[in-house]
Structure formats: C-alpha cells, structure tokens
Amino acid sequence: MADLNDKKPENTKELVDVVGHFGPWQTRILLLSSCLFIPHVWHVMGIVFFAPNIDYWCKRPEKYSNITNDQWKALAIPLDSKTNDNVTYSHCLMYKNFNNSSMEEEDSVVRCSSWEYDRSLYKSTIIDEWDLVCSNEWLTSLSTSVYMSGFLSAVFLSGQLADRFGRRPIILINVAIFFASALACSFSTSFAMFAALRYFVGFGASGAVTTAFVLFMEVIGPEYRSVMGIVFMLCWTTGYIILPGIAWFVRDWFTLQLTLTVPWIVLSIHWWLLPESPRWLLTHGKVEQAEKEIETAMRLNHKDVTNIKEIVQNLKRKEVKREETKKFRHPTFLDLLKTSNMRKKSLNIFFTWFVVSFAFYGLSLRTNDLGGNPYINFFIAGITEYPAAITVMFSIKHLGRRIPLMALMVSGGLACVFTFLVPNYLHWLLITLTMFGKFCVSASFSILYIYSVELFPTVVRNVGVGSSSMCARFGSMVAPFVKEL
C-alpha cells in the first residue's frame, strides 16, 4: 500500500523521487560529464611535457660546429658547480674571448644571445621553440598561471550563465571554446599567442567540467553525492596517469598538443546525448521540455510514466516555491562575514582551499625537478590519487571530515618539509616523501569538496562553495611560480 501511495503526484517530494535516485539515466549523464575531466587534466598538466626541464647552453659560432657538446662546454662555458663526477655548466653565460690564451680575458663573461638545447629526451618543446630560458624562464610558469586564470573566470562566469541559460547550452559552448582554442594553440607562432590561447583552453575545459558537475549533482539522490564526488575525482586521476604514456610516445610539443586535442572531437556527441537539467527547466517555466526530459529519465530507469503531467506540474510548484524562497533571501558574499561564527568558518575554509590547491598544483607541476625519469615520476604522482580516494571513502565514513582533513594536511606538509633534509644520494627517499605528500594533498582535496558543501548553511551554500573554489583558483595561479623561488 505504501508503494501505491508513493506513486501519487501529490506525494512527490523531489525530482529524484520520480526518476529514481540513481539508474541508467544518471549513469549516462555520469559518463558524459566525467569524460570532460580527461581533456581538462591533459591540458592543465600537459605543460609539464610542453616545457620540461632540459639542459641548454650558449650557442656556438659556426666554426665550432664540428666539436662535441662536451668539448664546446669545456672550452667556452663557465662552471656553475662541480661535485665529484657531476659538473654543471652555466646556462646563461659564456666566456667573452674563450679562444684567447689570456686568462684575464678568458675570465670575462657575457650573457648568451642564443642557445643550444639537449634533444636527447625531447625532440622539441616550447622552451627551445621560443627561447624561454634565463631571463625569460618565468614565462613557462606564466603560461600555466594564465591557464588557471581561465579556470578562475570560468568558475565565476559559467555558474551564473548556467543559472540563466541552462546547464546544457553552457556545457556545449564551453566544449566548443575548449576544442577551437586547443586546436589553434597547436599552431601558435609566438609565446604570447600560445599563452593567450591557453587562457581560453582553461576557460572552456573548466567551464564545461564545473557546469557538468552541477548538472550531475542535480539529478542524483543526496545519498550518492559524496561517493559520486569521489568518482569524478577518479576520472581526473585516470586522465592524469594516461598523460605520461601519451607524452612518452609523442616527444615534440606540437604533435603532443594535437594528440591531446583532436580525439576530443568525440565530445560533439554531447549535442545529441546530453540532457538539460529537469530542475532548471521547471524553475524557468519550460514545462513541456521538462516533461520530455523527465519521461525519458523515467523510461530509462524503468519507472512507471503514468500521471506524468500531474507529476511534472507538482514538481514545478515545488521548484518555483524553492526558487522564490532563494530570491527572497538573496544571499551574497557579505553574508558569509556578518556573524563572528560564520566569518571564522568562512575565512578558515577559504584559506584551506587556497593552501590545498597551491600545494596540489605545486607538487603536480614540479615532478620534473625530482630527477630521474620524468615520465615515471609523473605517473607515480598520478597513481597516488587512487589510494587517496579510497582512503577518503573510509575515513569520512568512520572519522568524519575535520580530523582526517587536518591529519592529512599536517602529514603532507611535514613530508614536503622533510624533503629538504634528504641528501642527494638518497634519491629514492626524496621521491617517497614527495609522493606521500602528494597522496595527502590529493586526499585533502577530495575531503574538502565534501566538507565545504556540508559546512555552509543551505541559504549561503552556493555562494560559500563558489567563493571557496575561487580561493582555490588563486592558489593554483600562484603554484606555478614555486619554481622561481
């Protein structure tokens, strides 16, 4: 009898009560949404292989073209350091008169005007393409920061546009922006062009991802949201660990950029398969379209579509009433700072988002600095996110949110600090500590998403989580410049 009563339109409480909390319809949206994470991670992390650590030195005159690189360095390049069998030559200086026998003249050095590059591991990079070395070395970090600024803009603009025009069109527009700018980025003729296009790549990719995440969370039951949040993070991780394999086979930046872009023409299937959020349709009075989407969802989830019109009308009244309540309250960022308790919580969580994002991208983008094989280092840094996700699933169930988050952040910070104490000959220990730090930071990031949603009261939840995400973006914009420190 209870089941029969639940089917009555007036007993309908939420959209998910009608279509089901999770089924084939939600699975389809999950697959369409989660696949957007892979091009996002490929292009934000691809800079590690577009601009890797490569050796370079002052270019030799034509008459010295017949000698080896080692002979040229010994003849014309001053030493930076010499320890045991390791000799490091200057990257930016050369002797002014290196072929003169006078020691006084030989000690006089000048800055390089052009360079030669070690191509033993990489055929071409943006480093040698535009001479991003010495005084221009910081530009590689700038290109990543520019990508992150696109991420920041997308978080701010896409959310507002999606609330006004719908989730589906904003996702499709952002996918188009991403694909067009990423494709054009391959044919950049200058660093300025490359960096500018990276902004739009970041804007399109992150705008599509964040809007798709919102769409998916609107169509699943609340009991699935924490677990599905972790699933989305695992999609990011999957793209993360695939990237070094692709980069290992494709050693020049132009072909790599194309390889990371062209396959994503497959995202055009979103035009035919991606539905609009029924909740958004109902709140904006698009009842006929909402009815079609809800009927499709019910049929895919094997639900009875009897009384579909009455059910939709009932859902519309509930959604409109909810939206009118939101408009009446109209929360802003200032509401997060009005009371002492809310202000303390907000500032704390904002700072935490900044720090975790800063540490995550600082570690992820600097795997080249660990020495050894850069592809293996990057792969290990990515694979640590799988056990991190599993750890989060168990810890938040049995220990809550606050204690695991605090323990992981402190442990990760200490691991990174201890790397400074590791001697050079214990390279394995350096890698281990760094990857443990990456594990802790990745787990912290996953918990923070869930914790933030639960921390802010319902009336200010959207503005609270949105502001937190913006703080994270500032952290990710600063992280690339760790190298310059």
DSSP secondary structure code for residue 89 in this structure: E
pTM: 0.84
pLDDT of 225 above 90: no
Of the pLDDT bands very low, low, confident and very high (cuts 50, 70, 90), residue 326 is low
Of the pLDDT bands very low, low, confident and very high (cuts 50, 70, 90), residue 422 is confident
pLDDT of 331 above 70: no
Mean of pLDDT values over 316-329: 62
Q: What would the pLDDT profile of 9-35 be if each residue is shown by its tens digit?
A: 445 567 777 888 888 999 999 999 888
Which pLDDT does position 34 carry in this prediction?
87
pLDDT of 189 above 90: yes
DSSP per residue over 97-152, as a string? TTTSS-HHHHT-EEE-SSEEE--SS-SB-HHHHHT--GGGTHHHHHHHHHHHHHHH
Q: What would the pLDDT profile of 394-413 be if each residue is shown by its tens digit?
A: 887 788 788 888 999 999 89
Q: What would the pLDDT profile of 356-399 be if each residue is shown by its tens digit?
A: 989 888 888 888 777 778 899 899 888 988 888 888 878 877 88
Which pLDDT does position 252 carry in this prediction?
93
Look at domain 1-51+126-330 and name its CATH class. Answer: mainly alpha
Which pLDDT does position 261 carry in this prediction?
95
Angle (nearest 5°) at CA 152 between 126 and 400: 115
Give the tokens for residue 426. 């214990």
Question: How far, in whole angstroms, is CA 391 from its chain's centroid?
Answer: 21
Give the tokens for residue 229. 């949040």
CB neighbour list of residue 392: distance below 8 Å, 6 or more residues apart: 230, 404, 443, 446, 447
**How far apart, in Å, do the first and last CA atoms of the chain sit?**
69
Q: Look at residue 94 and give its three-state secondary structure.
A: strand
- Domain limits, the chain: 1-51+126-330, 56-118, 331-485
- Range of lowest pLDDT (106-110, 234-238, 418-422, 425-429): 106-110
Distance CA 253, CA 129 (A): 9
Q: What would the pLDDT profile of 448-478 be if each residue is shown by its tens digit?
A: 877 777 777 656 666 777 788 888 888 888 8
- 49 touches 247 (CB < 8 A): yes
pLDDT of 211 above 60: yes
Q: Look at residue 81 and give its three-state secondary structure.
A: strand
Q: Is residue 366 within a helix (H) or strand (E), and if so which, with residue range?
A: none
Which pLDDT does position 393 carry in this prediction?
79
DSSP secondary structure code for residue 60 in this structure: P
Neighbours of 226 (CB within 10 A): 18
Question: Looking at 18-121, which runs of residues are DSSP E strands?
Answer: 56-58, 79-83, 86-89, 93-95, 109-111, 115-117
Which pLDDT does position 99 carry in this prediction?
61
Average pLDDT, the chain: 83
Fold match between domain 1-51+126-330 and domain 331-485: yes
How much of the chain, in percent, has pLDDT values that exceed 90? 28
Which pLDDT does position 346 carry in this prediction?
86
Question: Which CATH code, of 1.20.1250.20, 1.10.3720.10, 3.40.50.2000, 3.90.1150.10, is assigned to 331-485?
Answer: 1.20.1250.20
Angle (nearest 5°) at CA 188 between 183 and 190: 160
Which pLDDT does position 460 carry in this prediction?
65
Q: What would the pLDDT profile of 258-297 be if each residue is shown by its tens digit?
A: 999 999 999 999 999 999 988 888 878 788 888 888 888 8
Long-range contacts of residues 422-428, Cβ cutoff 8 Å, at least 24 apart:
427/371, 427/372
Distance CA 260, CA 49 (A): 12
Angle (nearest 5°) at CA 40 between 477 and 177: 95
Mean of pLDDT values over 160-174: 88
Of the pLDDT bands very low, low, confident and very high (cuts 50, 70, 90), residue 5 is very low
Which pLDDT does position 21 carry in this prediction?
87
